[in-house]
Amino acid sequence: MLTRAQPLHEQKAIETCPSESTEELSQFYQNRAAAWESLKNFEKVIEDCSKAIELNPKYLKCIQRRARAAEQINNLELALEDYSTVCFLDSYQQTYIMAADKVLTDLARQYTEKLPPSTAELSKDYVRTSLNEFEDDPVLSPTFIHEVRTSQSDSPLANAYQAYDECRFTDIPSLCTQELELSVTSPYKLEALLFRGTFYLLMGNFKEALADFDAVVNDQNVEEKMKIQAELKRANTKIHQRDLEGALYAYDQCAKNHSNACAPYVHRGMLKTLLESYSEAQSDFIEALNITPTNLRAKYQKLINDAKIGSKENKPNRVEQALASFEEYYDTCKQDIYYALALTSCYLDNDRKDKALEYLNRFVKEIPNSPTLLALKANCLMSADPSNNNESDKLFTQALELDPSNETVLTMFALFKCNRNQFEEAANLYERAILCSRGEEKVMQYAALLYAIRAQGRAIKRLNLSFPGGFPQANGSLPSWMGGTV
């Protein structure tokens, strides 16, 4: 059993060791740290480990010991930095990855608990791209909006549409609530519910969004077109909540209730593609096109799915055929952001950065104010050739000038900065993304990345390494409009 005499014994070894014998001296400090650890004096453990690491920056055993001690006294940032260093030195052993993940989760939770409620305005590009996903939305119909403005020009709902035009998106739910609380029942009750629920969804208020969509779906007087939209948005909300089983069930019910509608099959097929259930997705897209042969969304998604099937089955001809068919729509759809993102993503998924970049160069001319397209172009340039880094930096900066609160751009730019070993700048970009973000899970993800970047940046600097490319990609397995990280 160790006693307090043991650290004193190691003290003598330290005092008699020549200062130029750095390896031996670091070992003596490590031995004394081990004695302090047995006595649970974790402050002393950290002190002696730090001296040993200063003498030998790659002293693996000592870095592990300091990480454990730092975790014990809740010095989580130091613990994470040390676990990150151990991962770099010891080939990313699963034990250390799990330890780092645990600390990272605790740090992110502590960080998010201190955050005030977000007051940031929603990104214009995010709203536009998200709403573009829902075709024929009755509450965004120009005809309906004109009707509200002419027949109820001073109503809260008319003011909500004015807020929409002025990109004051976070004002919309409260204005819709005023419409619903009028002393005389609003003739646009269901529209106000659907409009409010839509922006609750975009703001990450998923519980409130579901309540509004349920109210629309369950209303006896709701028209089919509006009911379909509410059911689709209800399923989409469940995706954001990571309830994929619930989302699939919601899509199943929507397709069952509206068997002659194209949209439920398209949306369900898209989710099945993302879940790699390609055969089931193909059946959905075929059914959607049987119902509405001219529906471009169904055609795009079927081609994306075709390419994925070809890639999975190692059939290059099927992939090339899908890509060639996709290109045929360019002249008709070149100003459609949905088409631009779908075609570009299809090329990137199949490792065709050259073609993706070729089309991005075209799309940024046709849709010049799209921050997401500029960021995608920057990303393609960076991955194609490191000599393009300066141009990529300018494109990311330009994208943020257009839309300062665009999470997709902020997170892609952060990864770009990591690849250039500019870790503090990357962390600052994630801090901006956190302030712009809605939804607890997404904020947690960004906070975790913020701490990971800072810790790994310090570890890399200590070890005099270059960025190893181990950070998560800017885009999650699901795109942002379906609840993934951007």
DSSP type of residue 56: -
Q: Are residues 177 and 97 in the same domain?
A: no
* Distance between CA atoms of residues 369 and 371, nearest Å: 6
pLDDT at 476: 35
One domain, residues 214 and 319? no
Residue 157 · residue 192 · CB < 8 Å:
yes
Chain centroid offset of residue 189 CA: 34
Using DSSP, state whether 167 is helix, strand or coil: coil
Residues 295 and 173 in one domain: no
Residue in the block written with tokens 């989302």 = 247
Q: What is the pLDDT of residue 404?
A: 93
Q: Indicate which CATH number applies to the domain containing 267.
A: 1.25.40
* Residue ranges of the chain with per-residue pLDDT less than 50: 1, 469-486
Q: In the listed set 204, 232, 254, which residue is the last one of a domain according to the structure?
A: 254
What per-residue confidence (pLDDT) applies to 478? 31
Residue-level pLDDT at 201: 96
Q: What is the CATH number of the domain that holds 150?
A: 1.25.40.10
Helix residue ranges, H only, 133-277: 142-151, 156-165, 172-180, 189-202, 206-218, 224-240, 244-257, 263-274
Task: Please tell me the total count of domains within the chain.
Answer: 3
**What is the DSSP code (8-state) at residue 117?**
P
- Residue identified by tokens 């650290």 is 7
Residues 182 and 83 in one domain: no
143 and 245 inside one domain: yes
pLDDT attached to residue 363? 95
End position of a domain, from candidates 328, 343, 371: 328
In a domain, 397, yes or no: no
- Is 9 inside any structural domain? yes
Q: Among all chains, which residue has been given the structure tokens 């509405």? A: 292
Instruction: Examine residue 95 and state whether it is found in any structural domain, yes or no.
Output: yes
pLDDT of residue 470: 43
pTM summary value: 0.82
- Domain containing 214 equals 123-254
Residues 229 and 130 in one domain: yes
Phi, psi torsion values for 402, nearest 5 degrees: -70, -35
Kindly state whether residues 143 and 199 are assigned to the same domain.
yes
Q: For residue 465, what is the DSSP state? A: -
Q: Is residue 270 part of a domain?
A: yes
Residue 174 sits in the same domain as residue 238? yes
Q: What is the pLDDT of residues 265-292, one digit of tens each?
A: 999 999 999 999 999 999 999 999 999 9
What SS3 class is residue 453? helix
Contact 418, 467 (CB under 8 A): yes
Question: Of 113, 137, 172, at which residue does a domain stop?
Answer: 113
Residue 398 is predicted with a pLDDT of 97
Tens digits of residue pLDDT in 194-218: 999 999 999 989 999 999 999 999 9
Q: Which residues contact 81 (CB under 8 A, 6 or more apart)?
A: 455, 458, 459
Domain shared by 244 and 269, yes or no: no
In angstroms, how far is the first alpha carbon of the chain from the final one?
A: 53
Q: Is residue 358 part of a domain?
A: no
Question: 132 and 15 share a domain?
Answer: no
